[in-house]
Amino acid sequence: MNKKGKKGFLKKLALCAVSMSMLVGSAGCAGRAQGGPPEGRGGTAANTIGAKVFVIGKNDTVEFWDDVREGAEDACNELGLEFEYRCASGDNDYASQVGYIKEAIEWGADAIIVAPNGVTELNDALAEAQEKGIALINVNSKADFDGIAAVVRSSDKDGGTIAGTNAADILLQKNGEEGFDFRTAGTQKIGIIGHTAETANERISAFKEAFGTELGYAIEDYKSTYAEDIGDTTSRESSETAQMVENYIIEGERCSGRDTAKEEAMKLMKANPEIKVLYGTNTNTTLGICDAIKEMEQTDKVFAIGFNASEDILNYIRQGVLKGIIIQNPYNMGYLSVTDARSLISGTSVSPVLDTGVTFVSADNLNDDIIQLMLDPNKIA
């Protein structure tokens, strides 16, 4: 597949995402106004040629944002829009993003697409942009600002759910041929290292909920089969299951960088040798966890589940350190945020939320063409 064909296929995926988002949005947002053009704007798609789109990323040390940029730039080139891109230095760097919003205003932007590093820290700058009639779009995460017309992102809840389900599978299916043994509860742990941005919250809560659901199923299987074989007929109440889930999970300090996540992961493993799974909620926490597992020579004892893709992360999957990752289709995030921007500039309403989807990648499907295409649109010859 040549580059043109690859990008065309990704655009088809993007269009599918748009269609599904509209269906979900119309069903789930009844009575809620859809995003429309900023005050004083309007027209047709044809008269948007030459309109200016300014994109602001979160973290220039993370490859995820290179893919967002590529998708946004491709869309601008195809739609005849002027394009500028800036990126903050890290997940906590909202000060730079405030400066970039002001730069975009000075540049004469018609739309600003920003992945906010703070929930409210950008609000004053966003209000200034809104007063200028600039269309405001969030990508990947959302600011708590009423003037945001559209949000293009994957579901943190879905990502956390998939991660939690797979973590439970790793933990519960490695307890002998009989499966989960209730008597081993508490002798194994799952460690969580979240990143500092707001997106970590739902990725963690959904992870815990999904893991608890899978543990509950395992307990029911144990009660109906294996427990009877050994004469254990003790009744298990739901409150006991909830307590077991809580006992399984150890949550470390939130980390913004790879090195700090590595230190935190090593700290957790040293203090809790019963840890069998470590979960990271973004690129840096995932890499830090893998670095720690490798340095402590725990590859055969501790398995990692993480978020996002980079070449280092993919190498850790190939090495068996990382059991799987949740990928978020960052190319489509960038591409679709620009198509929303063009619609808003032209006066066309858009869905207030567009979900670009999540996919679980492991050694089993890493080399599948569709996965390779999502990981790197330019990689397949």
Q: Are residues 88 and 226 in the same domain?
A: no
Kind and range of the H or E run holding 280: strand 275-280
Helix, strand, coil % in the chain, rounded to nearest 5? 50, 15, 35
pLDDT of residue 26: 30
Give the span between the Cα atoms of 347 and 42, in whole angstroms. Answer: 4
Give the span between the Cα atoms of 233 and 222, in whole angstroms. Answer: 10
Token representation of residue 343: 């619609």
pTM: 0.79
Give the span between the Cα atoms of 17 and 356, in whole angstroms. Answer: 6
Give the span between the Cα atoms of 192 and 279, in whole angstroms. Answer: 5
Q: Which tens digits make up the pLDDT trace of 190-215? A: 999 999 988 999 999 999 999 888 87
Q: Are residues 162 and 311 in the same domain?
A: yes
Give which of 152, 169, 201 is closest to 53, Cα–Cα.
Answer: 152
pLDDT of residue 189: 86
pLDDT of residue 376: 80
In a domain, 367, yes or no: no
Q: Are residues 217 and 163 in the same domain?
A: yes
Q: Which tens digits make up the pLDDT trace of 248-305? A: 889 999 998 999 999 999 999 999 998 989 999 999 999 999 999 999 999 988 999 9
Q: Are residues 51 and 124 in the same domain?
A: yes
Q: Are residues 33 and 96 in the same domain?
A: yes
Q: Are residues 270 and 223 in the same domain?
A: yes
Q: Burial level of 77, CB count in 10 A (0-12/13-18/19+)? A: exposed
Sign of the four-CA dihedral 215, 294, 203, 250: positive
In a domain, 198, yes or no: yes
Please determine, for residue 156, whether its predicted confidence score (pLDDT) is greater than 90.
Answer: yes
Q: Are residues 348 and 316 in the same domain?
A: no
pLDDT bin (cut points 50, 70, 90) of residue 178 is very low
Please determine, for residue 96, whether its predicted confidence score (pLDDT) is greater than 70.
Answer: yes
Q: What percent of the chain has pLDDT over 90?
A: 64
Cβ pair 284, 62 in contact under 8 A = yes
Please determine, for residue 152, whether its predicted confidence score (pLDDT) is greater than 50.
Answer: yes
pLDDT of residue 375: 86
In a domain, 96, yes or no: yes
Q: Are residues 258 and 203 in the same domain?
A: yes
Give the span between the Cα atoms of 224 and 229, in whole angstroms. Answer: 9
Q: Are residues 115 and 236 in the same domain?
A: no
In a domain, 377, yes or no: no
Q: Are residues 277 and 335 in the same domain?
A: no
Q: Which tens digits make up the pLDDT trace of 36-91? A: 444 444 445 557 899 999 999 999 999 999 999 999 999 999 999 999 999 999 88
Q: Are residues 208 and 114 in the same domain?
A: no
Q: Which residues contact 138 (CB under 8 A, 6 or more apart)?
A: 113, 114, 115, 116, 148, 150, 151, 152, 153
Domain of residue 19, residue span: 3-154+329-356
Looking up residue 174, the CATH number of its domain turns out to be 3.40.50.2300
In a domain, 369, yes or no: no
In a domain, 336, yes or no: yes
In a domain, 228, yes or no: yes
When the pLDDT of each residue in the chain is averaged and rounded to a whole number, the result is 83
pLDDT bin (cut points 50, 70, 90) of residue 242 is low
In a domain, 43, yes or no: yes
pLDDT bin (cut points 50, 70, 90) of residue 10 is low
Number of domains in the chain: 2
Give the span between the Cα atoms of 321 and 62, in whole angstroms. Answer: 20
Q: Are residues 22 and 138 in the same domain?
A: yes
pLDDT bin (cut points 50, 70, 90) of residue 22 is very low
Please determine, for residue 102, whether its predicted confidence score (pLDDT) is greater than 50.
Answer: yes
